[in-house]
Amino acid sequence: METEYRDELYTKRVRAGKRTYFFDVKATKSDRDFYITITESKRVGEEEYEKHKIFLYKEDFEKFLGALSEVVGFVKGELLSKVEVPEQETS
């Protein structure tokens, strides 16, 4: 009897209007390594979705997080103070 391989270890969903973002921690088939996938799912019709995915490997986590923090900090500190942004609900 074969056992079903399940690579997903953890998932976090973020809803943002017509878009939903999925942050998934996945294991490799050997279960000795892991990586993160970030998926943007956007509704483009009644039942159709357009998906885009980024694979992020553990050796790049810190560089990716640092760059993301820097870019978000720039937007918050330099750009958002110059424009009025409507509040979004959090989920």
| Adjacent-strand bridge partners of 52 | 40
Q: Which residue has the tokens 């943002």?
A: 16
User: What is the reported pLDDT for 9?
Assistant: 95
User: What is the reported pLDDT for 5?
Assistant: 55
Give 64's contacts (C-beta < 8 A, 6+ positions apart): 56
User: What is the reported pLDDT for 15?
Assistant: 97
pTM of the entire predicted model: 0.75
User: What is the reported pLDDT for 84?
Assistant: 66
> CATH code for 8-82?
3.10.450.700
Q: Which of 19, 61, 71, 16 is nearest to 37 (CA)?
A: 61
Give 28's contacts (C-beta < 8 A, 6+ positions apart): 7, 34, 35
pLDDT in tens, the chain (91 residues): 455 556 899 999 999 998 999 999 999 888 889 999 999 999 988 889 999 999 999 999 999 999 999 999 999 998 888 776 666 665 5
